[in-house]
Structure 1
Amino acid sequence: MNKELDNHFFENIRTLLRKAQETLVKQVNAVMVLTYFELGKQIVEQEQQGKDYADYGAFILSELSEKLTAEFGKGYSKRNLELIRKFYVTFKNAKSPISQSLSWTHYIHLMRIDDEKERTYYQNEAEQNNWSVRVLERQINSAAYHRLLISKGTTENDSRPQTDAPNPLGTLKDPYVLEFLDLKEQPNYSETQLEQAIIDRLEHFLLELGKGFTFVGRQVRFTFDEEHFRVDLVFYNRLLRCFVLIDLKIGKLKHQDLGQMQMYVNYYDRFVKTEDELPTIGIILCKDKKDAMVEITLPKDNKQIFASKYLLYLPKAEELKKLIEE
């Protein structure tokens, strides 16, 4: 008599083995990171022999590479040993100690960042948000750190972004990089198409928005004085404890757009948010904006309405630096 394997039973076994595999991978990564750190320490100490610098380090790495490769196989080339040494030198006095939750590949990307504040920011964010290597690389390449600094009106020498603080300026970016929407090759897209592309890749968009965002709805309607209004995208940020409204503009930002967002924010503050929640934030995500027009339209003490530019491509480092400086 033929019997089919119970699907629920199989899925339970499959889940159990997948979790075991993931646990083993994490344990292997943790041991590897700690081992490489200790190996880097011993290499540096052997090279320096009590001196401030080594004058025969290259010889040691070449000889060590040959011996380790002969006994342990691949993975101990001179180049890899140089990375292991750099790993120790980079993180031995770092403010944030090495984390066993990040893999060796994470640290290879982090070591490419010279500025300690910037490196610490990405290290902490990757650890706290469980970023994959791919996500970490994308965040670094899109200059998330620098864009947060600019949104706060600070520079690299002031302080690193504090995205866990209940402050909207520590969460918002300018510009937002939305290359994952794949709209670059469509020169004539509509605001509806832009909105749909965001919904289709909502997980990516939430990551670009930052920490603490949850999706509430699209084209959220509210009514007063017998008129209907719709907010393109509504989010809630659990860290800021407030609603975040996003209006999408594919053309040039106009002062009427800022007035409309002010009305949306006022409505949410008066009729939607509860007493224990903080004031609503409104973001106009636009393709083109003029800071002078934004400043003259909004009150001097404005802390609720923001206009941010979006890019549909991942710019090169030089171009992104220019955009940030502007």
Structure 2
Amino acid sequence: MSTSSTNILIDRITALLNAARQKVVHTVNHTMVLTYFEIGKMIVEEEQMGKERAGYGTKLLSSLSVKLIKKFGKGFSATNLKQMRQFYLIYSKQSDQLPDLHKSQTVSDEFKLSWSHYLKLMRIDDIHERQFYEVESLKNNWSLRELNRQYDTALFTRLALGKNKKETLTLAREGQIIEEPRDAIKDPYILEFIGLPELSAFSENDLEEKLIDKLEHFLLELGSGFTFVARQDRISFDDKHFRIDLVFYNRILRCFVLIDLKVGELKHQDIGQMQMYVNYYDRKIKLAEENKTIGIILCQNKSEAVVEFTLPENNKQIFASKYLTVLPSKETLIKLLETAIN
């Protein structure tokens, strides 16, 4: 057998083994989470039978813990058993309160994340917010670390503010749905991963360099469907040359997305410049079957009035969004968002 044939065979076997490992991990995770749900159910049912005895629940958990640790090890501390109990209570209620979320599934069929994910999700009190992060974790294959980050940056709140009740329920049920350009835009964008202090002096080039260095993180913050195309993309006409900071393509919207980075206050000239970039891409770059180009200006500060009166009333292509280089508290972020839409 030639070296080339051997390498091809190794690649095929490697792919098969990796797929098998992933399947085993998924099966183990699902079985473990389902088992914990059932243990939680048994504990609750036993507590309800002994509900007239004061302190019965606490004594039950302690007694169970001692005996289970002897049989199965330290994974069954009283704290862990309490979490299993809480898991059952939360998700059995969630299934009752949101019956339309998974019409063809039983409660146990829904457990597709790891136990660590559910420990985080259980700490989210709002049922719709919790459901949103669960759906997005599944859709985007978020690690626990990414789930924590998205929650800390108040992704649900950023997407939900400005929506009516029906739209918010749809957001919780189906996650972020991108059907038109505005659906793909966030305001603000949280760029804490680039490591630039809030009050430090930095240039647009510094910001661009940091975003490219952390491109994977930036793509996650941009959202679903984005792929990187180019940086400092040069366009020329007559004897003039211009450079677009960052160019992406959104596979869901089937269009180019141009991003211009601005340090300081957004000016109407910046919006005019982006309009020129978008027009050029629409007339010279995009294919006939592709949708119109989107332009996003990321700025440190902006006047909503300047944006409103510079852009046409029926604007669906150009957007101005603020960016934050540090992670504010959730309360501060919510205040910023509420101010932006009022």
Shorter-chain TM band = 0.7 to 0.9
The structure-2 alpha-carbon separation of the partners of 1:156 and 1:116, relative to structure 1 and needing over 3 Å to count, comes to: farther
Question: How far apart, in 2, do the equivalents of 1:280 and 1:185 lie?
Answer: 31
Q: Give matches, 1:156-167, under 5 Å.
A: 158-160=167-169, 161=171, 162-167=175-180
Using the TM superposition, give the Cα deviation of residue 232 of structure 1 relative to its aligned residue in structure 2, in angstroms: 0.7
Using the TM superposition, give the Cα deviation of residue 19 of structure 1 relative to its aligned residue in structure 2, in angstroms: 5.7
Deviations, residues 73-114 of structure 1 (Å, cap 9, x unaligned): 212122211211121122221535564441000011111111
Deviations, residues 177-197 of structure 1 (Å, cap 9, x unaligned): 111111117812111111111
Using the TM superposition, give the Cα deviation of residue 233 of structure 1 relative to its aligned residue in structure 2, in angstroms: 0.5
- 1:295 aligns with 308
- 2:163 aligns with 154
Structure 2: runs of 5+ lacking an equivalent:
1-5
Contact 1:247 1:261 in 2 (8 A): yes
Contact 1:148 1:171 in 2 (8 A): no
Sequence identity of aligned pairs in percent?
56
- Which of 300, 305, 325 is the equivalent residue of 1:312? 325
- Which of 208, 218, 222 is the equivalent residue of 2:231? 218
The structure-2 alpha-carbon separation of the partners of 1:272 and 1:50, relative to structure 1 and needing over 3 Å to count, comes to: farther
The structure-2 alpha-carbon separation of the partners of 1:67 and 1:157, relative to structure 1 and needing over 3 Å to count, comes to: farther
Counterpart secondary structure, 2:229:
strand
The structure-2 alpha-carbon separation of the partners of 1:50 and 1:267, relative to structure 1 and needing over 3 Å to count, comes to: farther
- 1:119 aligns with 130
The answer as to 2:165 corresponding to 1:145 is: no
In the comparison of the two structures, how many residue pairs are matched? Answer: 316
19-28 vs 100-109, which moves further: 19-28
Question: How far apart, in 2, do the equivalents of 1:303 and 1:194 lie?
Answer: 26
**TM-score, normalised via structure 2 length:** 0.84
Give the RMSD, CA atoms, in angstroms.
Answer: 2.7
- 1:183 aligns with 196
Counterpart secondary structure, 1:189:
coil
Question: How far apart, in 2, do the equivalents of 1:186 and 1:318 lie?
Answer: 20
The structure-2 alpha-carbon separation of the partners of 1:280 and 1:15, relative to structure 1 and needing over 3 Å to count, comes to: closer
Q: Give matches, 1:7-46, under 5 Å.
A: 21-46=21-46
- Which of 173, 179, 198 is the equivalent residue of 2:211? 198
Q: Which letter maps to 1:154?
A: K
Q: Which letter maps to 1:129?
A: N
21-30 vs 134-143, which moves further: 21-30
The structure-2 alpha-carbon separation of the partners of 1:220 and 1:201, relative to structure 1 and needing over 3 Å to count, comes to: same
The structure-2 alpha-carbon separation of the partners of 1:129 and 1:85, relative to structure 1 and needing over 3 Å to count, comes to: same
- 1:285 aligns with 298
Structure 1: runs of 5+ lacking an equivalent:
1-6
Question: How far apart, in 2, do the equivalents of 1:268 and 1:198 lie?
Answer: 23
**TM-score, normalised via structure 1 length:** 0.88
Q: Which letter maps to 1:83?
A: Q
The structure-2 alpha-carbon separation of the partners of 1:291 and 1:30, relative to structure 1 and needing over 3 Å to count, comes to: same
Using the TM superposition, give the Cα deviation of residue 15 of structure 1 relative to its aligned residue in structure 2, in angstroms: 7.2
Question: How far apart, in 2, do the equivalents of 1:280 and 1:301 lie?
Answer: 15
14-23 vs 228-237, which moves further: 14-23
Q: Which letter maps to 2:80?
A: N
Counterpart secondary structure, 2:312:
coil
Using the TM superposition, give the Cα deviation of residue 169 of structure 1 relative to its aligned residue in structure 2, in angstroms: 2.6
Counterpart secondary structure, 1:159:
helix
Question: How far apart, in 2, do the equivalents of 1:100 and 1:183 lie?
Answer: 38
Q: Which letter maps to 2:163?
A: T
Contact 1:65 1:78 in 2 (8 A): yes
Question: How far apart, in 1, do the equivalents of 2:220 and 2:178 lie?
Answer: 17
- 1:3 aligns with none
